Amino acid sequence: MTPVLTTTGLGVRLGDDRTLVHGVDVSLRPGERLGIIGESGSGKSLTALALLGLLAYPLVPVGSAIIATDDGPVEVVATPSRRLDRVRGRTISAVFQEPLASLDPLMRVGKQLAWPLAKHRGLTGEKLRRGVLDALADVQLPEPERIARSFIHEISGGQRQRVAIALALAAGPRILIADEPTTALDVTVQAGILELLQREVAERGMTLLFISHDLPVVSQIADRVLVMRDGRQIELGETARLLRAPQHEYTAQLVAASRALDDFLPAADPSRRGGFEPTDAREESR
């Protein structure tokens, strides 16, 4: 199957003399879920921004990232940011750690959602109004009509992240990047957001890049895991294999650390366990 996304030596430089990300090589099938894991500062977010064509000088992308769009392949690194407006949202979209990063504090939620629906899906009038409410209902927000009329300071943190997800999904992208989408949220709403993301990704057959420093969470979501450290891609492999037989010492440390945490957590918390069981056992235990 033709990959939806292929990177070759995708990296990030700071000006002319410093390299922050040394080169990521990965190719993703439609519907594949890739986890990107690594300690703070390892280059996960910069890699995501490079893929989205959102790096701003003095950050400069290098290498290549090819995204399959309805109009054919687009090479993101070589394309000026403003020319990627048709690709961003429509083909590749993102949810970030902090929902406020993608939401406008001065615009009602409904109006923010109406924008991508009108621009990318051509909805107008009653269809547009319906589309906004459906998008809010899809991410399981209660009272879509009220939420649509609200400003974001009038809704909770978990609700804001649901709105940010609705916004990211509005144009029906093929690829979704979720960069630590639950880190800034209260633990009580984290599981709900993860569930929502997983369901939307499965239902829409989207390709997912899920960025996190939490290996147990990543291993529940991802088919393959890419490990980064100090701006380098250390290891890339199928999730079960990577957990069972890490090829790199650093990956082994991450796995050992998460196992220690896993043992420490009470068995009653299924969301934190199960990450190290084979896929079949995981399905049954849900």
Residue 230 Cα distances to 19, 42, 62, angstroms: 10, 5, 17
Least gap, CB of 15 to ligand ATP (angstroms): 9
Residue 187 CA to residue 272 CA, distance in Å, equals: 12
**Which of the residues 16 through 45 are near Mg ion (CB under 5 A)?**
45
- C-alpha–C-alpha distance, residues 101 and 52, integer Å: 15
Q: Residue 46's binding partner, choosing from ligand ATP, Mg ion, none, with beta-carbon cut-off 5 to 8 A by kind?
A: ligand ATP
Q: Is 220 in the site for Mg ion (CB under 5 A)?
A: no
From the CB of 281, what's the least distance to Mg ion, in Å? 31
Q: How far is the CB of 42 from Mg ion (least distance, A)?
A: 9
Closer residue to ligand ATP in complex, CB, 20/201? 20
Structure tokens at 109: 């939620």
What residue 41 binds from ligand ATP, Mg ion, none (CB within 5 to 8 A, per partner kind)? ligand ATP
Which residue's Cβ lies closest to Mg ion?
45
Site for Mg ion in 37-96 (CB under 5 A): 45
Footprint of ligand ATP (CB under 6 A): 14, 20, 38, 40-46, 59, 213
Question: How many helices, marked H, and strands, marked E, lie in the chain?
Answer: 10, 10
Using CB atoms within 10 A of its CB, is residue 278 exposed (0-12), middle (13-18) or buried (19+)?
Answer: exposed
Closest CB to ligand ATP among 38 and 144?
38
Q: State which residue, 21 or 66, has the beta carbon closest to ligand ATP.
A: 21
In the bound state with ligand ATP, the residue whose beta carbon lies nearer, of 40 and 188, is 40
Residue 102 vs 112, nearer CB to ligand ATP: 102
Q: 274 with 220: CB under 8 angstroms?
A: yes
- Cis, peptide link before residue 270, omega less than 30° from 0: no
Instruction: Work out how close the CB of 36 gets to Mg ion at its nearest, in angstroms, rounded to a whole number.
Output: 10
CA atoms within 13 A on the CB side of 275: 27
In the complex, what is the shortest distance from the CB of residue 10 to Mg ion, in angstroms, rounded to a whole number? 16
The answer to whether the CB of 63 falls within 8 A of the CB of 47 is no
Closest approach of Mg ion to the CB of residue 1, in Å: 30
Which residues lie closer than 8 Å to 80 by C-beta, 6 or more apart?
none
Q: Which residues are near Mg ion by CB under 5 A?
A: 45
